[in-house]
Amino acid sequence: MKEIFVLAEHRMGELRDVTLEMLSRGRQLAEEAGAQLVAGLLGHEVGPFSETLKKWAHQVLLVDDAKLANFNADAYQRVLAPLLKERAPDLTFIGHTSFGMDLAPTLAVELDLPLATDCLDVQLRDGKLLAFRQVYGGKLNAEMSFARTPCMAMIRQGAIAAGAGDLDGRVTEVDSPLTEEIVYRKFLEYVEAVVGDVDITQADVLISVGRGIREEKNIPLVEDLAQALGGVLSCSRPVTDSGWLPPDRQVGQSGRTVKPKLYVAVGISGAFQHLAGMGGSETIVAVNKDPNAPIFSVADYGIVGDLFQVIPALTEQIRETKGG
Amino acid sequence: MDIVVCVKQVPVTAEAEVMVDESGRDIRKDRLVFDVNEADNYAVEEALLLTEKYGGTITLVNLGPESADKTLRSLLAKGTHEAIRLTDDHFADSDAFATARILAAALKSLSYDLVLTGSYSSDLGYSQVGTSLAELLGIPHAAMVTGLEVLDGKIKVERELEGGVHERLEIELPALLTVQTGINEPRYASILGLRKAMKKPIKVLTLTDLGLAEGEVGREGSRIFLNRLSVPPKGEGAQILEGGPEEVSQKLVEIFREKGVV
């Protein structure tokens, strides 16, 4: 391998964590293969980011253009396609984020490159690149290989630990090939979530309910437990998707990140997106009927059983203890 | 507004135990129930809402075996108009790119203002087919859509980013959107609808019908390969509390007391 290219991701004036995570793995691979690590930074007036990135890469390619001020998959593709065609890096990393998902597959099709999405890791084994993913909601691991290189991989945010940035790369400015605004796709605005009267990020005790609750009418079962414990009710994505609880109660990558003293996961299988939002909790208790549910791998205490029997019994027990 | 919705039938595994089969590259499916992929179900509902408001037809396109007719009929029963199933032995082992290529071949002979897919599938979860399809069709796209509004010749969409942030953008039609779960409340089919759907024809197209070559699909037409599936190592994991509901509750209360929660 001669070059590994990592696309830097930033949003609303902040470099996203996935960028340094990808650069850390990129550096390991570059050292193993004797390759150059290149960070691609597209944006407008993002000079400070290139100062950070040069500590993590041998070279930073900076494309500054007012038309790149906000992420636009089509504008990014028009800049990256000729750049990657010319440089032909052996491996390109793009974050498996909402931006990445909007960009990488179309770019890979245009460039005729194999693409492995949502990778937890990419490693060199006997000179060949292997990508490691999760399938079936995190219940199984999958090892993937590429039909050929050059190739692309999208890296899941939070899957790789960011190492130290102690390089001193050079920053190279690259002219933007964009001559006009993309007319068929226009960025309008960012919308930030409104926090309701309950802020789950401030709670010491969270009782979180997931898909296992089955129906909206069963929610009070878990609400009772939250009340008995003096905690706050939160949930995983399927519950918000179904409209049973408002979005400000959702824990996970697309919701809130929480770190309570006690997190009780009720009927939550523990897809990565959920674990990313609650893994930092002090004590985690999980109740789930599937003994192989990924939630048990992060929980401190687990109950494999039917929540419809366990939760009422637990609520009762707590009330008796508190009353007595 | 004519809409094509690409739908996938998947095994329902959210609460089921998933086991690797003898090939090591697939799961044992004999005891699993199959249904429409969750995100695709939201895409179908969005199409129904749009055609109810603006008129037009909904065509479902599925790449799958004959048994996917169950899913297609359940979606026809909700009021979608036509269903096309793409079935050929050569399609087996197609990766996300090859899948997009097969779908693109099918969509070439259809007319549409909008193409909808789910944002990801609950089985392999590549989040790649929809947007790859948009590139192959040469139309604008937006991924992870959580809201949309039709304007004149354009569509205003809201995309989900991370951490509760969304972005709004405007794209020209025809376009492809990958629909995120939670965008609407998918309806259930009525008994009458199901009865009617049983009589609706499902058009079946093969490799030859689509004008594709063998080398463009299946393993040969794929760019990535799944080598091996494995059960994740357990690691330290949770201390599992054993016993009936009362017994485990007592143990938990003891733990809560130690932690100073009760």
A156-192 tens-digit pLDDT:
999 999 998 999 999 999 999 999 989 999 999 999 8
Average of per-residue pLDDT across A211-215 = 95
Dump the DSSP string for chain B: --EEEEE-EEE--TTS---B-TTSSSB--TT--EEE-HHHHHHHHHHHHHHHHH---EEEEEES-GGGHHHHHHHHTTT--EEEEE--GGGTT--HHHHHHHHHHHHTT---SEEEEES--SSS----HHHHHHHHHT--EEEEEEEEEE-SSEEEEEEE-STTEEEEEEEESSEEEEEPTTSS-PPPPPHHHHHHHHHS--EEE-TTTTT--GGGSTTTT-SEEEEEEEPPP--S--EEPPS-HHHHHHHHHHHHHHTT--
Of the residues A173, A191, A221, the one at which a domain ends: A173
Q: How far is A114 from chain B (nearest CA, A)?
A: 5
Mutation target among A78, A201, A269, A314 for the B interface, most CBs of B within 10 A: A314
Q: Which residues of B touch A212 (CB under 8 A)?
A: 15
Quick check: is A291 in a domain? Answer: yes
Quick check: is A182 in a domain? Answer: no
Integer Cα distance of A323 and A258 in angstroms:
29
Put simply, whether A243 touches B (Cβ < 8 Å) is: yes
Is residue A188 within 8 A of residue B156, CB to CB? The reply is: yes
Q: For chain A, what's the residue count?
A: 324
Res B261: pLDDT = 84
Q: With CB atoms and an 8 Å threshold, state whether A291 touches B185.
A: no
Does residue A135 sit in the same domain as residue A17? yes
Q: How far is B201 from chain A (nearest CA, A)?
A: 32
Put simply, whether A324 touches B (Cβ < 8 Å) is: no
Choose the CATH number for B3-216 among 3.90.960.10, 3.40.50.620, 3.40.640.10, 3.40.50.10490: 3.40.50.620
Q: Among partner residues A131, A254, A316, which is closest to B160 by beta-carbon distance?
A: A254
Mutation target among A18, A232, A248, A303 for the B interface, most CBs of B within 10 A: A303
Does residue A115 sit in the same domain as residue A32? yes
Integer Cα distance of B96 and B88 in angstroms:
16
Integer Cα distance of B144 and B127 in angstroms:
9
Residue B97's closest CA among B54, B55, B130? B130
Quick: pLDDT tens for A26-69: 999 999 999 999 999 999 999 999 999 999 999 999 999 999 99
Does residue A102 sit in the same domain as residue A16? yes
Put simply, whether A105 touches B (Cβ < 8 Å) is: yes
Quick check: is A59 in a domain? Answer: yes
pTM of the model: 0.94
Quick check: is A186 in a domain? Answer: no
Does residue A218 sit in the same domain as residue A146? no
Residue A324 has pLDDT above 70, yes or no: no
Q: With CB atoms and an 8 Å threshold, state whether B97 touches A108.
A: yes
Does residue A112 sit in the same domain as residue A17? yes
- In angstroms, the Cα distances linking B100 to B40, B63, B122 are 15, 10, 17
Q: Over chain B, what is the mean pLDDT? A: 96
Residue A291: phi and psi, rounded to 5, are -60, -20
Q: How far is A170 from chain B (nearest CA, A)?
A: 31
Residue B140's closest CA among B168, B106, B169, B109? B169
Average of per-residue pLDDT across B258-262 = 86
User: What is the domain-level CATH number for residue A315?
Assistant: 3.40.50.1220
Mutation target among B133, B139, B224, B247 for the A interface, most CBs of A within 10 A: B224
What is the 3-class SS of chain A, one letter each residue?
A: CCEEEEECCEECCEECHHHHHHHHHHHHHHHHHCCEEEEEEEECCCHHHHHHHCCCCCEEEEEECHHHCCCCHHHHHHHHHHHHHHHCCCEEEEECCHHHHHHHHHHHHHHCCCEEEEEEEEEEECCEEEEEEEECCCCEEEEEEECCCCEEEEECCCCCCCCCCCCCCEEEECCCCCCCCCCCEEEEEEEECCCCCCCHHHCCEEEEECHHHCCHHHHHHHHHHHHHHCCEEEECHHHHHCCCCCHHHEECCCCECCCCCEEEEECCCCCHHHHHHHCCCCEEEEEECCCCCCHHHHCCEEEECCHHHHHHHHHHHHHHHHHC
Instruction: Please name the residues in contact with A316: beta carbons below 8 A apart, sequence gap of 6 or more.
Output: B249
Peptide bond into B174 cis (omega under 30): yes
Token pair, residue B138, equals 């040469």
Quick check: is A68 in a domain? Answer: yes
Quick: pLDDT tens for B36-71: 999 999 999 999 999 999 999 999 999 999 999 999
Res A86: pLDDT = 97
Residue B81's closest CA among B121, B119, B112? B112
Average of per-residue pLDDT across A121-134 = 96
Residue A264 has pLDDT above 70, yes or no: yes
Q: Over chain A, what is the mean pLDDT? A: 95
For chain A, percent of residues with pLDDT exceeding 90: 90
Enumerate residues 53 to 82 of chain A having a beta carbon within 8 A of any beta carbon in chain B. Answer: 70-74
Q: Which residues of A touch B224 (CB under 8 A)?
A: 114-116, 131, 144-147
Residue B235 has pLDDT above 80, yes or no: no
Enumerate residues 168 to 207 of chain A having a beta carbon within 8 A of any beta carbon in chain B. Answer: 183-193, 205
Q: Among partner residues B164, B172, B178, which is closest to A256 by beta-carbon distance?
A: B164
Predicted confidence band at B202 (pLDDT cuts at 50, 70, 90)?
Answer: very high
Is residue B86 within 8 A of residue B102, CB to CB? The reply is: yes
Q: Among partner residues A134, A191, A304, which is closest to B240 by beta-carbon distance?
A: A304
Integer Cα distance of A268 and A295 in angstroms:
7
Quick check: is A216 in a domain? Answer: yes
Q: For chain B, what's the residue count?
A: 262
For chain B, percent of residues with pLDDT exceeding 90: 92
The total number of structural domains in chain A stands at 2
| Residue type present at position A40 | G
Angle at alpha carbon of residue A122, lines to A117 and A124, rounded to 5°: 140
Does residue A11 sit in the same domain as residue A58? yes
Q: Which residues of B touch A278 (CB under 8 A)?
A: none
Res A194: pLDDT = 77
Does residue A11 sit in the same domain as residue A156? yes
Is residue A205 within 8 A of residue A260, CB to CB? The reply is: yes
Sign, Cα dihedral of B250, B252, B254, B257 = negative
User: What is the domain-level CATH number for residue A60?
Assistant: 3.40.50.620
Residue B171 has pLDDT above 90, yes or no: yes
| Residue type present at position B152 | D
Q: How far is B48 from chain A (nearest CA, A)?
A: 18
Q: With CB atoms and an 8 Å threshold, state whether A141 touches B241.
A: no
Sequence spans of domains, chain B: 3-216
Q: With CB atoms and an 8 Å threshold, state whether B123 touches A135.
A: yes
Average of per-residue pLDDT across B223-234 = 92
Does residue A18 sit in the same domain as residue A114? yes
Q: With CB atoms and an 8 Å threshold, state whether A247 touches B164.
A: yes
Q: With CB atoms and an 8 Å threshold, state whether A102 touches B131.
A: yes
Average of per-residue pLDDT across A212-230 = 96
Q: Among partner residues B230, B240, B253, which is closest to A321 by beta-carbon distance?
A: B253
Facing residues of A186 across strands? B170
Q: With CB atoms and an 8 Å threshold, state whether B162 touches A254.
A: yes
Give residue A21's domain range. Answer: 3-173
